[in-house]
Amino acid sequence: MKGVTYWQYHPFLPLDRQAETLLPYIARIAPTRFGARLEWFDRGYGGGHTLCFRRHRGESPMEEVALAGPEAVLDGLAEECDYEMFVRRDGAEGKSMLRLFRTGFVPGDAVVHYLHPLDDAYAFSGKALCSPSIAILPSGRFVVSMDLFAGRRPQNLTLLYYSDDQGATWHYLNDLFPCYWGKLFVHRGRLHMLAHAAEYGDLLIGASDDEGATWTAPTPIFRGSGMFCASGPHKAPMPVIEHGGRLCTAIDFGSWEADRGHGQGMLSIDAGSDLLKADNWALSDSFLRYDPSWPGAVVGQSSGALEGNMVVSPKGELINMLRYQINDAQPNHGRAIQLLADADRPEKPLAFLRIVEMNGGSNSKFQLRQDPATKKYFAICSEYVDGMPNSMRSVLSLAASDDLISWKIVKRLVDYRHLPPGDTGFQYCDFQFNGEDIVFVCRTAFNRPRNYHDANYTTFHIIKNFHSLA
């Protein structure tokens, strides 16, 4: 077994399971209301294959479908039922691991990938699909990433998928390992991934010159603790923007267990420099911690800010706009925090700017971007609706602003407040402008997930003609 000098795997499996990479492998599952679509491959055998399936934990014999290519469609199954399946070689030893799926409707324009709560395919990293990110490449290809989350698990695997038809169909690309909290972005025509090795692990960056098929070995930018119980850098898939000749993105530092919150900073680099060279990057000299005496602060307990969006104001200010953690305060929703960065001195610590009213700005990650055509600001967020628990994530909405201060909900994108809030979540979206449309991917918990937080779907959505909404 040789050492590796790359980041991508097809697929990744731990060292003691390498023999399984030459067995049939189910790489993508997309349940439908009465069936499922799946994608599979087998690099160790050139003969025929059969898909075997039945009700999960059923006693009936497996039903069999001959496979003619790398994709298959099951239809005519019972709605809202759990099934198990595997791909078997014909005339030879070898089959894939058992995979699970649940039929049923799910909101969105397409399912990028699905993971049943009891499916152990990625259990060496996590058990839920989280941290979705989307990039649009110069060719028009969409590339989407998602990581594997579970509390107190390693959390170090990311899956990549692509679409060459504007999101109508999706295909498995590869895995990145170690990779967590990854953000895909394109800079000067080159696809990059900014991520962590694990939760609070080393901050990494890598690049691909062939639309995500192969990747450079990741470059460590800053070291982390690599443990959920110790402080380290925290970087969700937040926007990477260019301003004043630099690429800028928000970053946090802390942990829920050790610090009960996080401080805020900015990570940046000269836009013309080599992004894969660690000493080209600059980080705030210190991280700004939340101060309950800030003007406009809520009354009561708050763990402060998290998961910021770097954005340029109409006045040219470089601002980090963040979710405000106020579940147990008064008011307990409808606020966001803005911190000021110094574009000319990127290592200068952030400074408090203001707290603004924003429905969807509290208690859950939101993402905002400035539309290059109209210069308006748009955010996809978890909207608070009267009578709902303030931590509920079952209403996903599009908000708009002219000035980053006054915000208005302009469209409800998904509304399932009638379902149990503990089992329903549309959250942590990442979006891109695509002509007259907005395309986004969502961490979706629906149709019997483990809970609202631990998503079983990564779904793709299109907001048509979004300019007309503002």
The per-residue pLDDT for range 334-346, each reduced to its tens digit, is: 999 999 999 999 9
Does the pLDDT of residue 191 top 80, yes or no? yes
Q: In this predicted structure, what is the pLDDT of residue 387?
A: 82
- Lowest-pLDDT range, 2-6, 118-122, 199-203? 2-6
Does the pLDDT of residue 1 top 80, yes or no? no
Structure tokens at 130: 């989280």
Q: In this predicted structure, what is the pLDDT of residue 13?
A: 96
Q: For residues 132 and 135, what is the distance between their CA atoms, to the nearest angstrom?
A: 11
Q: In this predicted structure, what is the pLDDT of residue 281?
A: 98
Residue with tokens 């994530």: 393
Q: Please tell me the number of Cα atoms within 13 Å of 410 on its side-chain side.
A: 20
User: Within 10 Å of residue 30's Cβ, how many Cβ atoms?
Assistant: 22
- CB-based contact 329:298 (threshold 8 Å): yes
Handedness of CA 108, 143, 172, 133 (dihedral sign): negative
Question: pLDDT category, 388, cuts 50, 70, 90?
Answer: confident
Q: For residues 461 and 464, what is the distance between their CA atoms, to the nearest angstrom?
A: 10
Amino acid at 278: A
DSSP E strand stretches across 244-389: 246-255, 261-270, 281-283, 299-300, 304-312, 318-325, 329-330, 335-341, 351-357, 367-370, 377-382
User: Within 10 Å of residue 403's Cβ, how many Cβ atoms?
Assistant: 12
Alpha helices in 354-463 (DSSP H): none
Q: In this predicted structure, what is the pLDDT of residue 283?
A: 98
- 377 DSSP β-pair partners: 370, 401
CA 321 to chain centre: 19
Query: pLDDT tens digit string along 262-290?
Result: 999 999 999 999 999 999 999 999 999 99
Query: pLDDT tens digit string along 205-219?
Result: 999 999 999 999 999
Question: pLDDT category, 408, cuts 50, 70, 90?
Answer: very high
Q: For residues 143 and 236, what is the distance between their CA atoms, to the nearest angstrom?
A: 17
DSSP E strand stretches across 188-312: 190-196, 203-208, 219-222, 232-234, 241-243, 246-255, 261-270, 281-283, 299-300, 304-312
Segment (H or E) for 35 = strand 35-41
Does the pLDDT of residue 118 top 90, yes or no? yes
User: Within 10 Å of residue 15's Cβ, how many Cβ atoms?
Assistant: 6
Q: In this predicted structure, what is the pLDDT of residue 256?
A: 86
Q: In this predicted structure, what is the pLDDT of residue 76?
A: 97
Q: In this predicted structure, what is the pLDDT of residue 2?
A: 83
Q: In this predicted structure, what is the pLDDT of residue 252?
A: 97
Q: Considering the chain, what percentage of its residues have pLDDT values greater than 70?
A: 100
pLDDT average, residue stretch 419-439? 97
pLDDT average, residue stretch 369-389? 94
Question: pLDDT category, 258, cuts 50, 70, 90?
Answer: confident
Closest by Cα among 442, 440, 443, 460 to 451: 443
Structure tokens at 299: 């009354």
Q: In this predicted structure, what is the pLDDT of residue 427?
A: 97
Query: pLDDT tens digit string along 63-87?
Result: 999 999 999 999 999 999 999 999 9
Mean pLDDT, the chain, integer: 96
What's the burial of 45, exposed, middle or buried (CB within 10 Å: 0-12/13-18/19+)? middle
pLDDT average, residue stretch 184-200? 97
* N-to-C CA span, the chain: 57
The phi, psi pair for 15, rounded to 5°, reads: -60, -30
Which has the higher per-residue pLDDT, 231 or 1?
231
Q: In this predicted structure, what is the pLDDT of residue 227?
A: 83
Domains and CATH numbers, the chain: 8-102 (2.60.40.10), 110-469 (2.120.10.10)
| Omega cis (within 30) before 220 | no
Does the pLDDT of residue 28 top 90, yes or no? yes
